[in-house]
Structure 1
Amino acid sequence: MGESAGLVLAATVGLGATVVMDLWCWWLRSMGVATLDYAMLGRWCGHWLHGRWFHVPIQKSHAIGAEKPLGWVLHYLTGMVFAVAWLEWFGPWPGVWTALLFGVLTLVLPWLVMQPALGAGLAASKTPRPWLSRGMSLTTHAIFGLAMWACWRLLMLFQS
């Protein structure tokens, strides 16, 4: 498989895994569990253009034009970049355990960078129920990892 075909495959894996993760989050919201509003991701990134990285909390910062679509685009691009990295690091035959481990390792970004910058503290420490938030994040990112593997396997079936 050529390099550009491999990149398209990996991006497709990330796209599919992000859809699965979003279905999981949709189900959580239907059960009354709060999940990240991607408009806040768009707002956070939109404020970067003005040199502002930290918010206490992000919900109180002024809105950015098109923050919701921007947040969703960034969310999907992140999922695609993660899948590209996973497939690059673990080669052409990645296993389910590497996918699960990689999915869990992607928690570094929200716990150490995004949540503190959005005003939620390190690993959601400033939220009303930090351990619930951490558990939901861990589960969501594990599902993302497993979904990467499942999407990759499904795409491999169509490659044969």
Structure 2
Amino acid sequence: MVDLLLRGIVIGIGATILMDVWAIVLWKIFGESRPNWGPVGRWFWHLPRGTVFHDTIAQAEPYTHESALGWIAHYAVGILYGIVLAFWGGEAWFATPTFLPAFVLGILTVGAGWFLLQPGLGIGWAASKLPNANKVRALNLLAHTVFAIGLYGTALLLPA
């Protein structure tokens, strides 16, 4: 059980790093905006205070270290997803990793962004309040596919 937990942590970190590299590629090569984890940190900071959904996170009370908290939350969630895959796939999956379970989990995790985080930030269900909602949705799906590749690829690098 501890081995699965540790493997889950490692693949979660590896997948999140690859997702961040993907964001850098989108920024440097395609001119997309860099991720801003500050609003996410502010959202996480307000959760224990009982506020999940904001009209706009920009109007919520700021938190001094919200950018750092956003980065920590980003990696904590990636690690959590890695642990979920580790326990879902078990030792058998780590012995011979396949892409499909990682891909299924990666796509399912888009739902957390679309139906919890994005409405929580005040940008609507699946970014519906944004003028470029379909582009945001496509980029979300791509990023989480890259995350899935990271889960699978990191698992391939681990000893059986």
What is the one-letter code of the residue matched to 2:22? W
Residue number among 111, 116, 121 corresponding to 1:118 in the alignment = 121
The CA deviation string for residues 20-52 of structure 1, in whole angstroms up to 9 with x for no partner, is 000101221223213541111110011123322
Using the size of structure 1 for normalisation, the TM-score is 0.90
Using the size of structure 2 for normalisation, the TM-score is 0.90
Q: How many residues align?
A: 155
Q: Which residues of structure 1 form unaligned runs of 5+?
A: none
What is the one-letter code of the residue matched to 2:114? W
Deviates more, 1:84-93 or 1:133-142: 84-93
CA contact (8 A) 2:102 2:148 kept: yes
What is the one-letter code of the residue matched to 1:143? V
CA contact (8 A) 1:101 1:142 kept: no
- 1:139-154 alignment, distance < 5 Å: 139-154=142-157
Q: Which residues of structure 2 form unaligned runs of 5+?
A: none
Quote the sequence identity (%).
Answer: 32
Q: What's the counterpart of residue 131 of structure 1?
A: 134
Deviates more, 1:75-84 or 1:94-103: 94-103
- 2: CA distance, partners of 1:32 / 1:126: 22
Q: For the aligned residues, what is the CA RMSD?
A: 1.4
The CA deviation string for residues 79-111 of structure 1, in whole angstroms up to 9 with x for no partner, is 011011012112221411111111011011000
- 1: CA distance, partners of 2:60 / 2:156: 42
Match of 1:91, SS? Answer: helix
What is the one-letter code of the residue matched to 1:118? L
CA contact (8 A) 1:17 1:151 kept: yes
- 2: CA distance, partners of 1:89 / 1:4: 14
CA contact (8 A) 1:54 1:119 kept: yes
- 2: CA distance, partners of 1:51 / 1:36: 25
- How big is the shift at 1:59? 2.3
